[in-house]
Amino acid sequence: MSTMEIPYKTYLGEDELPTHFYNVRADMQTDHAPILHPGTLQPVTVADLEPVFCTELVKQELNTTDRLIPIPEPVRDFYRMYRPSPLIRAYYLERALDTPARIYYKYEGGNTSGSHKLNSAIAQAHYAKEQGLTCLTTETGAGQWGTAMSMACVYFDLDLKVYMVKVSYEQKPYRKTVMQTYGAQVIASPSETTQIGRKMLAEHINPNGSLGTAISEAVEVAVGTEGCRYVLGSVLNQVLIHQSVIGLEAAAAMEKLGEYPDVVIGCAGGGSNLGGLMAPFMADRLAGRRAPRFIAVEPASCPSMTRGRFAYDFCDTGQVTPLAKMYTLGNGFIPSANHAGGLRYHGMSPILSQLYHDGHIDEARAVEQSSVFAAAEQFCRAEGTLPAPESSHAIRAAIDEALAAKESGEEKVILFGLTGNGYYDLLAYQQYNEGTMTDYIPTDEDLERGFATIPSLPGIQ
Ligand SMILES: *Cc1c(COP(=O)(O)O)cnc(C)c1O
């Protein structure tokens, strides 16, 4: 271990808070394939999506031309509560690894919701308020998104109904308590409050619930309630647009430090934090100004990019949502009960999928849960911050890159996204500490069962 004195390690500028979101689609040579209406199989229009989502968010979803979208002032006001988020040089981890690499992380876990999801939640709540809506609905599995939406809705005085997957509702009661404290109504899904929920309960179909069912319930209520719309915390283009604040701040801070990342690493569930972190660096790469490498890290238990198909699939298990062309394990893929809560989605952002397909995202890497927790342990013991399990996938890859740099003697600059803190996931840490954590990697047969649920659409690639 070197004896270097550790300089002040957190870079927190006042003036990095961006004035505009960045929309990478405006710079992509090849846009992602259009989102298709599930009934007509035609590209969705504003009119198709308006009954479900706020109008402004629908426009963002379909926006391929505006690179920059002004951040509304009320949203910037809210951001000032917790942004700019810190960009931290991982001096202690570098020292522990004895690596010549310089490691930076953008820490999004410092707000009460515990993750980056608040960045999009507050924007979505603002556009709903501006449209004169009074109510929003959503689903939550792991709880971070529901918590973020609860904070956002109470700020703009909107009612919020959160359909929470029943097994999480029962096993993770404190998350429910946080949401209720912020004023949200939390309903265990499947529930008696919707047709689909009543059907699932009556027919005893998956009584523990699933994200797919919770989405179907939340959409049903939004569409059937006056002044109400549905919100989603990942995967969608609009969410990537909002999350660009992560990357824009990181780029501004790094520029002041005279640094530029050689490699940008993010964990990938639905793709929103990675899409946001890499946004300005991808802009540089697409314009040919710089050539940073991008690595998406996913759990080996839910390997949509590394082992999935690039195909049109439904975004939900109930097959009621539009179809997106994306890397997918099939809408019927059931990931093992694994604690990488926020990374268990069957699909992937269509934008990230297209960038990966076209080689602009260099690598997708699948990592096993026990090695992820080993990285989390090493990280928190060195850096002090207890990371979320999802974020720890990115830590695993960052440590591996830093160790490779040590081998080759390269002075590489690594930037990764630390998307959340680990206080919501102490059960997983307990299992890791007690040695009862398991790694489950789906077999090819498991994957085939999921692929069988990808719809075949004659004439559509
Ligand atoms: C939801 C979540 C993720 C994964 O979602 P993305 O849309 O892929 O960013 C990652 N980390 C944390 C802490 C989360 O809550």
Q: What is the CATH number of the domain that holds 151?
A: 3.40.50.1100
Task: Determine if ligand 1 sits within 6 Å of the CB of residue 269.
Answer: yes
- Taking CA atoms only, the protein residue closest to ligand 1 atom 10 is 390
Question: Does residue 414 share a domain with residue 345?
Answer: yes
Question: Does residue 388 share a domain with residue 305?
Answer: yes
Decide: 148 and 117 in contact? Cβ < 8 Å. Answer: yes
- 305 domain-assigned: yes
- 134 domain-assigned: yes
- 283 domain-assigned: yes
Question: Does residue 318 share a domain with residue 171?
Answer: no
- 149 domain-assigned: yes
Which tokens sit at 116? 């980056």
Among candidate residues 163, 198, 230, the one where a domain is terminated? 230
Choose which residue among 119, 140, 144, 393 to substitute to test ligand 1 binding: the one with the highest number of ligand atoms within 8 A of its C-beta: 144
Task: Determine if ligand 1 sits within 6 Å of the CB of residue 113.
Answer: no
Among candidate residues 230, 265, 289, the one where a domain is terminated? 230
Task: Determine if ligand 1 sits within 6 Å of the CB of residue 388.
Answer: yes
- Taking CA atoms only, the protein residue closest to ligand 1 atom 5 is 269
Question: Does residue 277 share a domain with residue 226?
Answer: no
- Tell which atom from ligand 1 comes closest to the C-alpha of 420: 13
Q: What are phi and psi for residue 425, nearest 5 degrees?
A: -125, 35
Question: Does residue 411 share a domain with residue 430?
Answer: yes
Question: Does residue 315 share a domain with residue 179?
Answer: no
Decide: 154 and 182 in contact? Cβ < 8 Å. Answer: yes
- 288 domain-assigned: yes
Question: Does residue 424 share a domain with residue 294?
Answer: yes
CA of 269 to the centre of ligand 1 (A): 6
Please tell me the pTM assigned to this model.
Answer: 0.96
Q: Which residue is it, tokens 């996204």?
A: 417
- 460 domain-assigned: no
The pLDDT score that the predictor gives to residue 204 is: 86
- Tell which atom from ligand 1 comes closest to the C-alpha of 273: 9
Question: Does residue 292 share a domain with residue 440?
Answer: yes
- 126 domain-assigned: yes
Q: Which residue is it, tokens 């006042």?
A: 14
- 26 domain-assigned: no
Question: Does residue 388 share a domain with residue 307?
Answer: yes
Q: Examine residue 303 and say whether the peptide bond preceding it is cis (omega within 30 degrees of 0).
A: no
CA of 42 to the centre of ligand 1 (A): 30
**Rounded to an integer, what is the distance from CA 144 to the centroid of its chain?**
10
pLDDT one digit per residue (tens) for the chain, 461 residues: 555 677 766 766 667 899 999 999 999 999 999 999 999 999 999 999 999 999 999 999 999 999 999 999 999 999 999 999 999 999 999 999 999 999 999 999 999 899 999 999 999 999 999 999 999 999 998 789 999 999 999 999 999 999 998 988 988 888 999 999 999 999 999 999 999 899 989 988 778 888 878 998 999 999 999 999 999 999 999 999 999 999 999 999 999 999 999 999 999 999 999 999 999 999 999 999 999 999 999 999 999 999 999 999 998 877 888 999 999 999 988 877 666 566 778 999 999 999 999 999 999 999 999 999 999 999 999 999 999 999 999 999 999 999 999 999 999 999 999 999 999 889 899 999 999 988 889 999 999 999 999 999 887 76
- Taking CA atoms only, the protein residue closest to ligand 1 atom 3 is 342
Question: Does residue 127 share a domain with residue 217?
Answer: yes
Structurally, how many domains does the chain consist of?
Answer: 2
- Tell which atom from ligand 1 comes closest to the C-alpha of 274: 9
Decide: 304 and 313 in contact? Cβ < 8 Å. Answer: no
Question: Does residue 226 share a domain with residue 105?
Answer: no
Q: Give the number of other Cβ atoms within 10 Å of residue 431's Cβ.
A: 16
Task: Determine if ligand 1 sits within 6 Å of the CB of residue 343.
Answer: yes
Cα end-to-end span (Å), the chain: 54
Which domain does 303 fall in, by range?
3-18+71-114+237-451
Among candidate residues 195, 211, 230, the one where a domain is terminated? 230
CA of 129 to the centre of ligand 1 (A): 25
Task: Determine if ligand 1 sits within 6 Å of the CB of residue 390.
Answer: yes
Question: Does residue 406 share a domain with residue 392?
Answer: yes
